[in-house]
Structure 1
Amino acid sequence: MRYSDDIAGQVADCLLSIEMELRKLDMWASQRPPEDAFRSTEPFCLDTLAFTQWVQFVFLERMKVIVENGHPLPEVSGIAPMAEEYFRGRPESGQGLIRELEVFDQLLSGQ
């Protein structure tokens, strides 16, 4: 499915908001994890990366390439529930990040 420039712009804005929320939480990493961490076969690289690292170094990087190159966007997304699970029981609420991921999920799902 080919998305309009309007949707691509909204997705780009959403990606920036997700980055800003990671920075607010002080969970924006200044150094990239070792390449071995990206060879995981687990969803979200759960066995090798923290969820927030996956968001920064896998999700955001891939989505930025997709948007910048005008590639088709994924037709569904369900990242927000994973964020909710990650922040459950942690001292940080992560609500701002979860909210932005919900917006992203809804944009791709056409809601």
Structure 2
Amino acid sequence: MTQSAQLFLLLDELQQELHKKQLWQAERPSQSALNSTQPFAVDTLNPEQWLQWIFIPKIRTLIEQNANLPTGFSIAPYFQQAWQGQPDYRSVVMITQKIDEAVKSC
């Protein structure tokens, strides 16, 4: 399995886990909220919104277009911090850690 294929599967796993934890949202945030220039859109989006509406679609698009994936980033620490008081979300954080590892090897 290629590294891009592995990352694509991890994105699917992340989406499924967000659904399972009832973090997946039916309503899209406003365009102005999505246009935030802050890391993780911390000023306009909740952590799960950033995953759903920005991260997952962006990385999927890059993979589908065979574009270069971003390197040198790590998203798991943000989610560990943001959800430190939410033990139910530990499984989501673990998937972000797997994504970080997969990106390092791309």
The answer to whether structure 1 residue 94 and structure 2 residue 93 are counterparts is no
Preserved contact between residue 83 and residue 89 of structure 2 (Cα < 8 Å)? yes
Residues 1-111 of structure 1 mapped to structure 2, 5 A cutoff: 6-90=2-86, 92-110=87-105
The 2-side partners of 1:99 and 1:33 are apart by 25
RMSD: 1.5
Distance 2:91 2:100 in 1: 14
Query: How far off its partner does 1:83 sit?
Result: 0.8
Q: Which amino acid aligns with 1:96?
A: S
The TM-score, its normalising length taken from structure 2, stands at 0.93
Deviation, 1:77, is: 2.6
The answer to whether the 8 Å contact 1:76/1:105 transfers is: no
Structure 2 unaligned blocks of 5 or more? none
Structure 1, unpaired ranges of 5+: none
Q: How far did 1:38 drift?
A: 1.5
Q: Residue 79 of structure 1 contacts residue 102 of structure 1 at CA under 8 Å; is this kept in 2?
A: yes
Q: CA deviation at 1:93?
A: 2.7
SS at match of 1:89: coil
Identity across matched positions, percent: 26
